[in-house]
Chains A and B, each alone.
Chain A
Amino acid sequence: MSDVKYISGKEPHPKERRMIFKNVDREGWDQSIETYEKDGGYEVLKKAMKMAPGDITTEVKTGGLRGRGGAGFPTGVKWGFLPPNNTKPVYLICNADESEPGTFKDRYIIHQDPHQLIEGMIISCFAVGAKLAYIYIREEFPEGAQILEAAIEEARAKNYLGDNVLGSDFDLEIYVHRGAGAYICGEETGLIESLEGKRPYPRIKPPYFPAAMGLYLCPTIVNNVETLCHVGHILRIGGEEWAKIGTPNNTGTRILCVSGDVQKPGYYEVEVGSLTMGELINDVCGGLKEGRELKAVIPGGSSAKVLRAGETFKVGRGDDAKEIDIWNIKMDFDTLAACGSMAGSGGVIVIDDSRSISWVLNNINAFYAHESCGQCTPCREGSLWMKKITDRLVGGTASPTDIDTLYDVAKNIDGRTICAFGEASAWSTESFIEKFKDELVADTNPELAGEKVNNEAQLAAAGLL
């Protein structure tokens, strides 16, 4: 690693540990297979092809890799859900639909280091027995799709793909499939429907767990870009060594994407749990903007519940139990879950005291209202109602009771939908109300107290439009 130099001004922060992003912003680096191979690329694949597929899965389990797309589910366990004695074809899909607000990590892997992803995918396909794989990439990465297709051609020319990969009896094709701008395609069963050429309405689980009944109702593994890249690194150094990175049950490195009100927003790859929120914001990201104070942090993409500055959180169990403030939250899966939120996709959005909470929530509500697929009524209707109520809030025409209505709408989406989008849209609203109710109520119009204000005609009659 010591010979790796980075483009001036884009050097990693000293607290980073670059594995996945080793080649991002690297001096003299390009996307070609020659550059990748010169740096030791595809050597791990050669090693993996000599292993028994089951042993690869065991290494991934030993490493304790947890999915980097949002749910944090153990990857090896997911692979283990493939039915035994299966006679159907197995498919692998790389979820490159990166669209969780606040998340921008896969973009750089795809655009700057495509062969890392492809090598990770080939190894993973070999492990699970997939002979056909797709990279489902969001439509808004047109250049990324071209880069991946070019990289796939290069890999095919070297027989890393195609028939009899590296002289084995293993055949594999990978194709790039572009989405068309719908957030719901990041949900794995919605993605599968989309890949089948339909509207991406998520499927109900059970029975449609992709590992059992996925693409074309065959066993299918869906993994995030960053997750598939990690598979290569686990095999390179071995599961046991890899598990020493990070903290127990929160192993490896992960890319934190920081945006919003900090001096230096950007992507930072760190050992999971090696940083607290305070270290991330104040050391790595250069602190808040001049003269500003922290108001809130959304720690894992907009679907994660908001954390309020000044809140205290109970973490740890038994003798280790303690109360901490927002600055001392360790940025790992388990701690963020204990704080009532989630590490999610690694997208950290920092909000300072210059921001109106009503405005922030309205922006988030507008996102979910736009992106609800419309399959389940509570989500289709509720996400739009939540947007309309917060439209009134930012427009100064909300009644004080609107906040309770908003909370009620959110609570009636939560738990009543086929997929987790319902929770994602409801949890952000619920958490903002639970933690910032006073501020939201302050933005309502007291003159409207007791008024049933719910449509434009009434507002016009009240002289408010």
Chain B
Amino acid sequence: MSFEVPAEVETKVDQRITHYPVSKRSAVLPVIHELQHHFGFISEEAVEWIAVKLELEPIKVLEVVTFYPGIRQSAPGKFHIRVCRTLSCAMAGSAELMDALCETANIDRSGTDHHHPIAVSPDGKFSIEFAECLASCGTGPVCLVNDDFHEAVPNAAELLAKYD
């Protein structure tokens, strides 16, 4: 499968680059976001493509990709869930929410670690990981499903039923 960035995505990328008149390198994160939004993750080919686009050595792109928790290097599910792990949400039951979501979506997290935080359901519909503080500590437990924010999540089945 060859790597191809659709014209409409490239147009958005080009437009993002104009926001950084001093240094194209500043556009690394915005360009990564555009590609991740389209492809779901940043592949080796995507790193190369971004490097060419921004006239950088690929390592300058890769070092950014490997640093940030918000950038994925493997394909997530159709719906990617990020459950807040940090103190206030943990006090409100985020670990229990994580367990319930995994059980309901049939996700096995046992193979995950710091460098491979994402677990995917066998049907590829859902993937999940913990995220650090999502900044809504008063309404925990909270999570993001793709770009949708959910607060005071009542139960796993109810949340997952919204996504088909």
Task: List A residues at the B interface (Cβ < 8 Å).
Answer: 98-104, 106-107, 132, 138-143, 175, 177-183, 194-200, 216, 257-261, 265-267, 302, 347, 349, 351, 355, 360, 363-364, 366-367, 370-371, 373
How far does the alpha carbon of A249 sit from the alpha carbon of B28 in the complex, in Å?
41
- Which of A100, A197, A366 lies in contact with B29, CB distance below 8 A? A197
Q: Are A140 and B131 interface neighbours, CB within 8 A?
A: yes
How far does the alpha carbon of A371 sit from the alpha carbon of B132 in the complex, in Å?
8
Closest to B36 in A: A180
Residues of chain B within 8 A of A101, CB atoms compared: 86-88, 132-133, 137
Q: Are A143 and B88 interface neighbours, CB within 8 A?
A: no
- Which of A181, A195, A257, A258 lies in contact with B131, CB distance below 8 A? A181
How far does the alpha carbon of A29 sit from the alpha carbon of B19 in the complex, in Å?
30
With A180-B71, A183-B132 known as contacts, the answer to whether A197 contacts B27 (CB < 8 A) is: yes
CB of B156 closer than 8 Å to a CB of A: no
Q: Are B135 and A259 interface neighbours, CB within 8 A?
A: no
CB of B43 closer than 8 Å to a CB of A: no
How far does the alpha carbon of A363 sit from the alpha carbon of B23 in the complex, in Å?
39
How far does the alpha carbon of A101 sit from the alpha carbon of B88 in the complex, in Å?
8
CB within 8 Å of A: which B4-22 residues:
19-22
CB of B26 closer than 8 Å to a CB of A: yes
Closest to B149 in A: A143
Minimum Cβ distance to chain B for residue A55 (Å): 29
Closest to B66 in A: A199
Q: Are A363 and B71 interface neighbours, CB within 8 A?
A: no
Number of interface residues of B (CB under 8 A): 43
- Which of A102, A107, A141, A257 lies in contact with B87, CB distance below 8 A? A102
Q: Are B88 and A195 interface neighbours, CB within 8 A?
A: no
How far does the alpha carbon of A99 sit from the alpha carbon of B131 in the complex, in Å?
11
Pairs of residues from A and B, 9 with the lowest C-beta to C-beta distance, nearest first? A181-B70, A180-B68, A259-B137, A197-B25, A180-B70, A259-B88, A197-B28, A181-B69, A265-B138
- Which of B64, B133, B137 lies in contact with A198, CB distance below 8 A? B64
Residues of chain B within 8 A of A132, CB atoms compared: 21-22
6 contacts between A and B (CB under 8 A): A104-B138, A179-B68, A180-B32, A197-B25, A259-B137, A370-B69
Q: Are A197 and B26 interface neighbours, CB within 8 A?
A: yes
How far does the alpha carbon of A70 sit from the alpha carbon of B136 in the complex, in Å?
17
CB of B33 closer than 8 Å to a CB of A: yes
Residues of chain B within 8 A of A355, CB atoms compared: 91
How far does the alpha carbon of A180 sit from the alpha carbon of B60 in the complex, in Å?
16
Q: Are A216 and B22 interface neighbours, CB within 8 A?
A: yes
Q: Are A349 and B19 interface neighbours, CB within 8 A?
A: no
Give per-residue flags for B68-93: 1 if the beta carbon is below 8 A from chain A beta carbons, else 0.
Answer: 11110000000000100111101100
Closest to A354 in B: B91
How far does the alpha carbon of A363 sit from the alpha carbon of B92 in the complex, in Å?
13
Residue from A99, A177, A258, A364 having most chain B Cβ neighbours under 10 A: A177
With A196-B23, A367-B132, A370-B114 known as contacts, the answer to whether A181 contacts B29 (CB < 8 A) is: no
Q: Are B68 and A370 interface neighbours, CB within 8 A?
A: no
Minimum Cβ distance to chain A for residue B84 (Å): 9
With A178-B33, A366-B85 known as contacts, the answer to whether A259 contacts B69 (CB < 8 A) is: no
How far does the alpha carbon of A98 sit from the alpha carbon of B136 in the complex, in Å?
10
CB of B154 closer than 8 Å to a CB of A: no
How far does the alpha carbon of A266 sit from the alpha carbon of B139 in the complex, in Å?
8
Q: Are A99 and B87 interface neighbours, CB within 8 A?
A: no
Q: Are A182 and B30 interface neighbours, CB within 8 A?
A: no
Residues of chain B within 8 A of A366, CB atoms compared: 85
With A182-B68, A216-B22, A216-B23 known as contacts, the answer to whether A107 contacts B86 (CB < 8 A) is: no
Q: Are A182 and B70 interface neighbours, CB within 8 A?
A: yes
CB of B160 closer than 8 Å to a CB of A: no
Residues of chain A within 8 A of B68, CB atoms compared: 139, 179-182
Closest to A261 in B: B91
Q: Are B90 and A363 interface neighbours, CB within 8 A?
A: yes
Give per-residue flags for B85-110: 1 if the beta carbon is below 8 A from chain A beta carbons, else 0.
Answer: 11110110000000000000000000
CB of B153 closer than 8 Å to a CB of A: no
Minimum Cβ distance to chain B for residue A169 (Å): 19
Q: Are B138 and A266 interface neighbours, CB within 8 A?
A: yes
Known: A139-B68, A141-B135, A259-B91; 8 extra A-B contacts, CB below 8 A, are A101-B87, A102-B88, A102-B137, A139-B33, A178-B33, A179-B70, A198-B63, A259-B140
Closest to B18 in A: A175
Minimum Cβ distance to chain B for residue A99 (Å): 6
Minimum Cβ distance to chain A for residue B105 (Å): 21
How far does the alpha carbon of A142 sit from the alpha carbon of B134 in the complex, in Å?
12
Q: Are B132 and A195 interface neighbours, CB within 8 A?
A: no
- Which of A100, A140, A143, A198 lies in contact with B82, CB distance below 8 A? A140
CB of B163 closer than 8 Å to a CB of A: no
Minimum Cβ distance to chain B for residue A390 (Å): 13
Residues of chain B within 8 A of A182, CB atoms compared: 67-70
Residue from A100, A104, A200, A266 having most chain B Cβ neighbours under 10 A: A104
With A197-B28, A260-B91 known as contacts, the answer to whether A104 contacts B86 (CB < 8 A) is: no
Residues of chain B within 8 A of A363, CB atoms compared: 85-87, 90
Closest to A302 in B: B87
Residues of chain A within 8 A of B87, CB atoms compared: 101-102, 260, 302, 349, 360, 363-364, 367
Residues of chain A within 8 A of B69, CB atoms compared: 180-182, 370
How far does the alpha carbon of A106 sit from the alpha carbon of B23 in the complex, in Å?
28
How far does the alpha carbon of A98 sit from the alpha carbon of B140 in the complex, in Å?
16
Q: Are B134 and A140 interface neighbours, CB within 8 A?
A: yes
How far does the alpha carbon of A231 sit from the alpha carbon of B56 in the complex, in Å?
39
How far does the alpha carbon of A102 sit from the alpha carbon of B71 in the complex, in Å?
24
Closest to A215 in B: B22
Minimum Cβ distance to chain B for residue A425 (Å): 13
How far does the alpha carbon of A195 sit from the alpha carbon of B71 in the complex, in Å?
16
